[in-house]
């Protein structure tokens, strides 16, 4: 998968910078994880896992941080988030779901986190 035309490293970085300013001791510390937890809940995460969104979200936020402060590869962060979600999810039929099966969910999560408009992300309004 190539980088989405809708989500850019710049939009993801801008959102993360608003949530987690570089200043130490910021009042906003943890805002990225809280925002991600809310998005996970709105996407129906609780139907896929017993792990609360608030428990999974900090790991997703760390992956976003690694992307915007390090590797800057959207495909990599999507794949990493998809793998994390797969590991925390229930297999619906008793078998393991592939990472590829979780990639669209991960992409939608990152799009919403970055503030990509629903119509631009291909999501009906």
pLDDT in tens, 6-23: 899 999 999 999 998 765
CA-CA distance, 23 to 116, in Å (whole number)? 26
Whole-number mean pLDDT of the chain? 85
Q: How many CA atoms lie within 13 A of 76 on its CB side?
A: 11
Domain membership flag for residue 120: no
Is 123 within a domain?
no
* Percent of the residues in the chain that have a pLDDT greater than 70, as a whole number: 78
Q: For the whole prediction, is pTM greater than 0.85?
A: no
The answer as to whether 125 is a domain residue is no
Q: By C-alpha distance, which of 71, 65, 73, 77 is closest to 110?
A: 77
Cα gap 21→17, rounded to integer Å: 5
Residue 120: pLDDT band by 50, 70, 90 thresholds? very low
pLDDT for 1: 38
Compare 120 and 81 and report the one with higher pLDDT. 81
Residue 124 belongs to a domain: no
The mean pLDDT of 79-94, rounded to a whole number, is 86
Does residue 108 fall inside a structural domain? yes
Residue 97 within any structural domain of the chain: yes
Count of structural domains, the chain? 1
- Please tell me the distance from the alpha carbon of residue 11 to that of residue 101, in angstroms, as a whole number: 25
Judged against a pLDDT cut of 50, whether residue 108 lies above it is answered with yes
Q: What is the residue range of 46's domain?
A: 9-19+28-114
At residue 114, the pLDDT reads: 96
Helices (H), 20-98: 31-42, 53-66, 74-88
Q: How far apart are CA 83 and CA 60, in angstroms?
A: 10
The H or E element spanning position 105 is helix 99-114
Cβ atoms of residues 57 and 1 within 8 Å: no
- Element counts in the chain: helices (H) and strands (E): 5, 0
């Amino acid at each position: 998968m190539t980088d989405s035309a809708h989500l850019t490293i710049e939009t993801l970085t801008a959102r993360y910078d608003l949530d987690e300013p570089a200043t130490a001791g910021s009042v906003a510390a943890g805002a990225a994880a809280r925002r991600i937890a809310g998005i996970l809940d709105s996407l129906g995460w609780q139907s896929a896992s017993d792990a609360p969104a608030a428990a999974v979200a900090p790991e997703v936020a760390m992956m976003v941080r690694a992307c915007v402060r390090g590797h800057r590869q959207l495909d990599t962060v999507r794949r990493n988030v998809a793998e994390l979600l797969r590991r925390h999810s229930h297999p619906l039929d008793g078998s393991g779901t592939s990472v590829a099966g979780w990639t669209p969910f991960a992409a939608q999560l990152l799009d919403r986190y970055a503030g990509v408009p629903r119509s631009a992300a291909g999501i009906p309004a």
